[in-house]
Amino acid sequence: MTIRDIQRFSDIRYQARAYLCYLFTRNIKNGMPKPELEHILLQLNKIAHEVESFQALYILDPKGEQITDNISPEPQFAIGKGASRSSKSYFYRAVKEKRCVLTDPYPSVLTNDLCVTAGFPLYDDKKRLCYVICIDISLEDILKIIKINRLDGVFGIFSKIIYTFFAIALLLVSAVVFFHGIEMFSLNGFNLVAINMEEMFKATILLTLALAIFDLVKTIFEEEVLGHSKKPENGSIHKTMVRFLGSIVIALAIESLMLVFKFAAQGETANIVYAVYLLGGVTFLLIGLSIYLRFVNKKGVKNDCSD
């Protein structure tokens, strides 16, 4: 097992959870009056024949105590009755969230290899918790079960190459804008007294845009090339969008302020109305950004509840 395998699991985590939860819900019905342990064991044996490879299937009571030995393809793993699992994340998360859950990879107590566990809470018709049914699958096996299409893999490599080129190109743009902003100071020999307000505002706008573009490059490289922070709930792409749009709004606001100073200094007070128009555009951008943030936050809450 390598870091790459853990990253691959992160990429297919939601498909894996959907698959394992589907196995549970298809074979074991929630809301039945007095779920019989013998019937559940019979259904677990059916699941054992459906899954390509797994380490153990077992049942916990509402207190987290294992009430059956493991169902396992390996005879030496058919143990565990009486063990307390109440401190395990797959138990208390399933009980707390009242839904099927899937853990992060962790060392298996059976093999010491990395594995994941899905926990499925089973309720009776009065919505009282009766059991938590669990399945342990090694990280290697879950990656084999949720196979990534070879074409997807080739296209993924191609996409990373393209995104790398775009990131490098944008980085060069950011560098050019940055040095052009610094150049405004160097034209006056870094004499801060000799720099007029218009040059200062222009330099500020250029440096702000350079920072926004660099922030965009950083996100593209991390998310699309390195594959970091791809979880849907992470929301990092939304944060980058907000920072980028925020930088644009700041640059436009500075530009409008610069126009006010410029027209006032030249006595062209009639032209100040154009600065007001620009400020109106900035206001509409802020309103649009606020609406965007509101919808993004609502969607994020909805996804967290339905995941």
Q: How far apart are CA 228 and CA 170, in angstroms?
A: 19
CA 207, 210, 214, 216: dihedral to nearest 10 degrees?
A: 120
231-269 pLDDT, tens digit each: 444 445 566 667 777 777 777 777 777 777 777 766 777
What is the C-alpha to C-alpha distance for residues 96 and 91, in angstroms, rounded to an integer?
A: 9
Q: What is the pLDDT of residue 239?
A: 65
pLDDT at 6 over 50: yes
Mean pLDDT of the chain: 80
Residue 185 has pLDDT above 90, yes or no: no
Compute the distance between CA of residue 80 and CA of residue 183 in angstroms, rounded to an integer. 71
Q: Are 203 and 181 in contact (CB under 8 A)?
A: yes
Tell me the C-alpha distance between 165 and 176, whole Å. 17
Closest CA to 137 of 46, 71, 86: 71
> Where does the pLDDT of residue 148 fall: very low under 50, low under 70, confident under 90, or very high at 90 and above?
low
When pLDDT is averaged across residues 123-141 and rounded to a whole number, the result is 92
Each domain of the chain, given as residue ranges in start order, spans 3-145, 150-306
Number of helices (H) and strands (E) in the chain: give both, helices first.
8, 5
Residue 306 pLDDT class (50, 70, 90 cuts): very low
Q: What's the confidence (pLDDT) of residue 245?
A: 74
Q: How far is CA 181 from CA 174, 198, 255, in A?
A: 11, 12, 14
Give the pLDDT of residue 155. 66
Contacts of 114 (CB under 8 A, 6+ apart): 1, 5, 6, 105, 106, 107, 108, 138, 139, 140
**Which CATH code fits 3-145?**
3.30.450.20
48 contacts 73 by C-beta, under 8 angstroms: yes
* SS3 call for 183: helix
135 near 141, Cβ under 8 Å?
no
8 A C-beta contact, residue 84 and residue 173: no
Greater pLDDT, 199 or 79:
79
Beta carbons of 211 and 247 less than 8 angstroms apart: yes
